[in-house]
């Protein structure tokens, strides 16, 4: 695989995805019972925003824009970003040189009896991930296809689980990414083995893939999960061929999370939007 998330670290899609992830983790923290977290496509967890790859695409929303939205973001999110940038929360903006990946966020929420599994198939990124996360027995870092973890690691011993599925959606030599079908198959395994888990599925929204998404949504709707929530976040830009919208499916969304998402996204969208076509939606 040639995909490297450093090209997109800290963009609007990362921020919307991580808001949802954090709100779900906070709900898990409301009960003392332990949980298992699985990140099927972990990446390297820590991204240098000054790296030439990040600067090449220039997708990070930037310090100035982040400063405008930070008052509406979950406090724990800001604390995690301050931690990865080795500064106090009130000094984050001037020290904002690194962005956190999902594993870094998940790790921050692990209590004594909680566990996590981070899968990364790209060999180089797997090695980098292990360097970032050396020296803890609370999580396992595996170099394998993360989709298979829903079959091999569920049901969890902890009786509660959160699974984040966030693949690269690379097409390679095909016209359609194989990840769409892999997601459906993995979710079927997840439902069969642990239907009450929280499953988060991120996906890009690109005009050229409209037919693919229509079929993907149809297959999602046919899954047996009792509660499905779909979040769409669109900043409205159609310039330079860059992605301007993304979605996140939440299966078994925790109680009241929709209200919290509505409150946060309604406040940050006017700041992040790049045209009047910008919008966000929540549907069940």
User: Residue 113 catalytic?
Assistant: no
CB atoms near residue 47 (< 10 Å): 26
Of the listed 14, 39, 114, 166, which one is catalytic? 166
HEC secondary structure over 138-173: CEEEECCCHHHHHHHCCCCCCCCEEEEECCCCCCCC
CA dihedral of residues 123, 125, 128, 132 (deg, nearest 10): -130
Expressed in angstroms, the distance from the first to the final Cα of the chain is 33
Q: Which residues are catalytic?
A: 166
């Amino acid at each position: 695989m040639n995909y490297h998330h450093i090209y997109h670290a800290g963009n609007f899609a990362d921020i919307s995805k991580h808001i949802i992830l954090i709100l779900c983790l906070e709900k898990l923290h409301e009960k003392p019972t332990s949980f298992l977290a699985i990140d099927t496509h972990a990446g390297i967890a820590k991204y240098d925003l000054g790296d030439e790859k990040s600067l090449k695409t220039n997708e990070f929303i930037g310090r100035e824009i982040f400063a405008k939205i930070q008052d509406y973001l979950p406090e724990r999110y800001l604390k995690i970003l301050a931690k990865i940038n080795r500064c106090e929360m009130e000094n984050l903006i001037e020290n904002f040189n690194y962005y956190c990946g999902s594993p870094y966020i998940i790790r921050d929420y692990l209590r004594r009896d909680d566990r996590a599994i981070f899968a990364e198939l790209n060999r180089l990124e797997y090695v980098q991930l292990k360097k970032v996360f050396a020296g803890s027995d609370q999580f396992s870092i595996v170099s394998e296809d993360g989709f298979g973890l829903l079959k091999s690691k569920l049901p969890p011993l902890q009786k509660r689980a959160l699974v984040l599925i966030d693949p690269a959606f690379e097409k390679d030599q095909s016209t359609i990414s194989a990840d769409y079908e892999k997601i459906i198959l993995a979710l079927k395994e997840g439902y069969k083995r642990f239907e009450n888990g929280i499953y988060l599925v991120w996906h890009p929204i690109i005009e050229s893939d409209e037919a693919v998404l229509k079929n993907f949504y149809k297959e999602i709707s046919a899954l047996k999960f009792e509660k499905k929530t779909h979040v769409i976040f669109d900043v409205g830009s159609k310039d330079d061929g860059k992605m301007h919208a993304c979605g996140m499916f939440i299966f078994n969304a925790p109680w009241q999370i929709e209200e919290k998402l509505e409150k946060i996204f309604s406040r940050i969208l006017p700041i992040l939007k790049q045209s009047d076509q910008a919008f966000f939606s929540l549907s069940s």
